[in-house]
Structures are given as C-alpha cells and as structure tokens.
Structure 1
Amino acid sequence: MIDLDIDMRQYDCPFIDTTDDVDIAFSAVQWQLDTDAEKLETRLIAKTDSRGALEDGLRALREHPNMTNCYILSKRDTTAEIGTKIEETNAMRTIQNNGGYITGPFQIEDGRERWHVGFDADEDEDRALAALERHNDFSVENRDQFGPSTLFDLLENSESAMQLLDGCRSLTDTERETFRVASRNGYYETPRETTLDELADHFDISKTAVSMNLRRSERKVLDGVLGAIERMDDDQF
C-alpha cells in the first residue's frame, strides 16, 4: 500500500472556504462517502478561540452552497461536535475514480486541508495526482509504502500506538515547547550541547521552572512509552 500525506486546497470545499473567512479549525472523527448520491457524511470537531468565532464559523458552514446538511451534536465553550453532509468535491471524486481511498482523518485550518490517501499501485497514484492538479492546489508532504507484513504489524499494535500518542497529547503547550527546544538544542546529547541556564535564558524563566517543565514532559512521555511496551508485551502472550 502507498500512503500519501497531502496538504490540499480545494476550491469547492465548504470547510476550506469557512476556515478562509473565520478563525476556526475542523478535525474529522468519522466519515462516509456515499458514491451513489455523490455526498460525504462526516462527524467533526470544530474548535475556535472564542464563542463568537464558533458561531460565525458554524453559520458560514451552514450557508455554503455545497453544504447539504449541518447540525450540532454537542457544544461547549469554543468547541463543538457537528455532523455534516456535503456535495462530493472534485478532489474526492478524482481520488475515488483513480483507485484511491482515505486512510486517516483529515484536518482543516487556515484554508488548507491535510489528507491521508492510499493507493494500491504506483500507476493509480500517478494518474490520480495528475488529475488532481487540474482543479486543486496541493503538495505531497510525505509518502510511505508498506508491504503486507508492515501493515499487519501496524494494525496489530494500533492500541500500543494510541497509548504512546496519548502520552504525547497529555503534554501542555509549555511542556511540549520546552521539551522540543531542549531536544533540538542538544540537551539530551552526550555531552550536552545546551544547559538548563541557557534554556532558562531562552524562555526567560528561572532554571528551576525549566527543570520542572522538562521533568513533567519527560514523565508523561515515558508513561506513554512504558504503557505501549506493556501492551505490546501483553499481546505477545
């Protein structure tokens, strides 16, 4: 299987047009393409920085000419879970007509959409990408090719992977950024290429605060790793 990570801008997509006009982001949690009716049904999480932006975004989505149905499943503060049905876009039709299929959830923000698309053969991929160029703006950000054994391994260990992801997602923005900067600047190299004092200067906080942020982020990531290892060990018996 060939798996592509595509940064996409469609010109007939309600979600992309809405994020162009309003500071709102959408993440799909479920989708179903009705090929006979040429419509896509989705469940999405809509997230903004303010309640006003959320209302503006949902209103713009409902009023889009390619939106068939848009309804709220739940809403709290600046986040909503919504259900939608839209007309099949040119890109969706192109992928499907050339042997492609969706392999993962898509995210839409700032007028662009991140797609995960799969193909079984190189010629299908080449044909689909050539056709996409006629009516869409896109770039392939990543391309992976998996054999049957690799795919089986991924599926077999999907719960372990989720455990690891949960550990990473539990990091706060501050912990994530501190961990990232420390790693990129060589804090975990031997010998170290940066110090706590230098990291403290970078973030304009105390050395103690940097150390605490690193310890919290390390513990959360380590808990995720250990949880994934334990789940893999359990699956082997």
Structure 2
Amino acid sequence: MIDLDIDMRQYDCPFIDTTDDVDIAFSAIQWQLDTNDEKLETRLIAKGESMGVLEKGLHELQEHRNMTECYILSKRDNIAEIGTKIEVTNAMRTIQQNGGYITGPFQIEDGRERWHVGFDEDDDEDRALAELERHNEYTVEDRDQFGPTMLFDLLENSDSAMDLLEGCRSLTPTERETFEVASRNGYYETPRGTTLDDLAEHFEISKTAVSMNLRRSERKILQAALTALEQLNGTEER
C-alpha cells in the first residue's frame, strides 16, 4: 500500500472556504463517501477562537453553496461536534475514480486541508496526482509504502502507538516547548550541546524552573513509552 500525506487546497470545499474567512478549525472523526449519490457524510469537531467565532464559522458553513446538510450534535464553549453532508468535491472524485481511498482523518485549518490517502499501485497514484493538479493546489508532505507484513505490524500494535500519542498530548504547552527546545539544541546528546543554564537564559526563568519542566515532560513521555513497551511485549508473546 502507498500512503500519502497531502497538504491540500481545494477550490470547491465548504470547510476550506470557511476556514479562509473565519478563525475556525475542523477535524474529522467519522466519514462515509456515497459514490452513487456523490455525497460525503462526516462527523467533525469544530473549534473556534472563541464562542462568537465558532458561531460565525458554523453559520458560514451552513450557508455554503456546496453544503447539503450541517447540524450541531453537541456544543460547549468554543467547541462543537457537528454532522455534515456535502457535494463530492473535484479532489474527492479524482481520488476515488483513480483507485484511491482515505486512510486517516483529515484536518482543515487556515484555508488548507491535511489528507491521508492510499493507493495500491504506483500508476494509480501518478494518474490521480496529475489530475488533482489541474483543479487543486497540493503538496505531498510525506510518502510511505507498506508491505503486508508492515501493515499487519502497524495494526497489531496500534494500542502501543496510541499510548505514545496520549503521552505526548499530556504535556502542557510549557513542558512541550521546554522539551522540544532542549532536544533540538542537544541537551540529550553526549557531550551536551546545551545546558540548564543556557535553557534558563533562553526561557528567561530560573535554572530550577527549567529543570522541573524538563523532569515533568520526561516523566510523562517515559511512562507512555513504558506502557507502549508493555503492550508491544504482550502482542509479541501471543
């Protein structure tokens, strides 16, 4: 299987048009393409910069010419779960007609959309990308090719991957930034490329505060990694 990570800008997509005009983002959690009716039905999480921005974004989405249905399932503060049905866009039709299929959730923000698309053959991929270029703007951000053994391994160990992901998500913004800056600047290399004193100066806080932020982030990530290893060992022993 060929798996593509595509940064896409469609010119007939109501979600992209809405995020162009309003500071709102959409993340798909469920989708179903009806090829006979040429409709895409989705469940999404919509997040606005504020409650007012969310309301404005949802209103614009509902009024879009390519939107068939748009209804709110739940809403709290500046986040809503919505259901939609839209006309199949040119890009969707192109992917489907050339043997492509969706392999992961898509996210839309700032007028662009992140797609995860799969193909079984190189020729299908080449033909689809060539046709996409005629009516859309896109960049292939990443391309992977998996054989059946690797695919089985990915599916078998999906719980381990989720544990690692949740561990990363559990970091606060401060912990995440501190850990990323320290890693990029060689704090974990031998010899170290940066020190606690350097990091304290970078963040304009005390050396003790930097150390605490690093320790908290390290503890969370290590715990997630250990949990993932336990899951991995369990699948290997079956």
* Comparing 200-209 and 8-17, the one that deviates more: 200-209
Shift of 1:49: 2.0
With structure 2 as the length reference, what TM-score do the two structures score?
Answer: 0.98
The AA in structure 1 aligned to 2:205 is I
| 1:1-237 mapped onto 2 (5 Å cutoff) | 1-235=1-235, 236-237=237-238
Cα displacement string for residues 2-42 of structure 1 (whole angstroms, at most 9, x for unaligned residues): 00000000000000000000000111011000001100011
User: Which runs of at least 4 in structure 1 moved beyond 4 Å after TM superposition?
Assistant: none
- Quick one: distance in 2 between partners of 1:162 and 1:224? 9
Cα displacement string for residues 107-141 of structure 1 (whole angstroms, at most 9, x for unaligned residues): 00000000000000000000000000000000000
- Quick one: distance in 1 between partners of 2:45 and 2:175? 24
The AA in structure 1 aligned to 2:47 is K
Q: Identity of paired residues, percent?
A: 80
Mind listing any 5+ residue stretches in structure 1 that lack a counterpart? none
With structure 1 as the length reference, what TM-score do the two structures score?
Answer: 0.99
- Quick one: distance in 1 between partners of 2:75 and 2:205? 37
The AA in structure 1 aligned to 2:112 is R
- Indicate the SS of the match to 1:192: coil
- Indicate the SS of the match to 1:8: strand
The AA in structure 1 aligned to 2:101 is Y
Equivalences, count: 237
Cα displacement string for residues 60-80 of structure 1 (whole angstroms, at most 9, x for unaligned residues): 100001011111111111111
- Indicate the SS of the match to 1:191: coil
- Quick one: distance in 1 between partners of 2:107 and 2:51? 20
- Quick one: distance in 2 between partners of 1:38 and 1:184? 46
- Quick one: distance in 2 between partners of 1:97 and 1:27? 24
Cα displacement string for residues 180-231 of structure 1 (whole angstroms, at most 9, x for unaligned residues): 0000000000111101111111111111111111111111111111111111
Shift of 1:81: 0.8
- Indicate the SS of the match to 1:134: helix
Mind listing any 5+ residue stretches in structure 2 that lack a counterpart? none
The AA in structure 1 aligned to 2:10 is Q
- Quick one: distance in 1 between partners of 2:74 and 2:214? 36
User: RMSD in angstroms over aligned alpha carbons?
Assistant: 0.7
